Amino acid sequence: MLLLLTCTLFQGTHAVATDVLVQSDAMVDKLVGDEVIGLYVPGMAGAEHPRRAIEAAESLLRRTGHDDSSGPWLPVGVGVHTGLAYVGIVGGDDGNPTDFTALGDNVNITARLASKAGAGEILISDAAYTTSGLDLGPLERRDLELKGKSEPTGVRVLRVAG
């Protein structure tokens, strides 16, 4: 199982996001435009990798000021999803590797959740929430239409409070 955390940064810096990911034992997969992708691989992040990814998402919102009454200094939205993915080295001519990454439908779902997350929102797929074993109390629930999916994807919406 692989848990993915994709942080869509609406402005500027990647420093806070990469620090949060590294501190929570994620592997920073990509820094693409305004997005940071972290992989929570069980062999590296441990058996509680789903919980760690959700807690990292909460930490990211706190560290960017989403729990501050004056508002965030960096608006961030996060998508968290879990599932199997193909992880490894891709590309390259003559057998020379060019990139280590994760590929597959679950990676795409995570990216689409992040793109739908508003500033200050963590969209946690039902699969990731259930697997995490966390009880975060009553959370808003949404069914989202995602590109490439014939059925809606259920998510819980988590926000940090000040």
Span 69-117, pLDDT tens digits: 998 988 889 999 998 888 888 777 777 777 878 888 998 999 899 989 9
Sheet strands side by side (includes 122-125) = 27-32, 35-40, 2-9, 76-83, 122-125, 153-158, 140-144
Per-residue pLDDT tens over the stretch 122-135: 999 999 999 999 99
User: How much is the pLDDT for 36?
Assistant: 83
User: How much is the pLDDT for 34?
Assistant: 75
* Domains assigned to the chain: 2-158 (3.30.70.1230)
Residue 16 · residue 98 · CB < 8 Å: no
Region of 40 on the Ramachandran plot (φ > 0 left; ψ -120 to 50 alpha; else beta): beta
pLDDT band at 6 (very low <50, low <70, confident <90, very high): low
User: How much is the pLDDT for 7?
Assistant: 57
Per-residue pLDDT tens over the stretch 12-34: 467 888 889 899 999 888 777 77
Residue 105 · residue 83 · CB < 8 Å: yes
Among candidate residues 57, 58, 153, the one with its CA nearest the CA of residue 106: 153
User: How much is the pLDDT for 29?
Assistant: 82
Q: Is the pLDDT of residue 58 over 50?
A: yes
Residue 123 · residue 117 · CB < 8 Å: yes
Interstrand relation of 76-83 and 153-158 (parallel, antiparallel or unpaired): unpaired
User: How much is the pLDDT for 8?
Assistant: 56
User: How much is the pLDDT for 78?
Assistant: 92
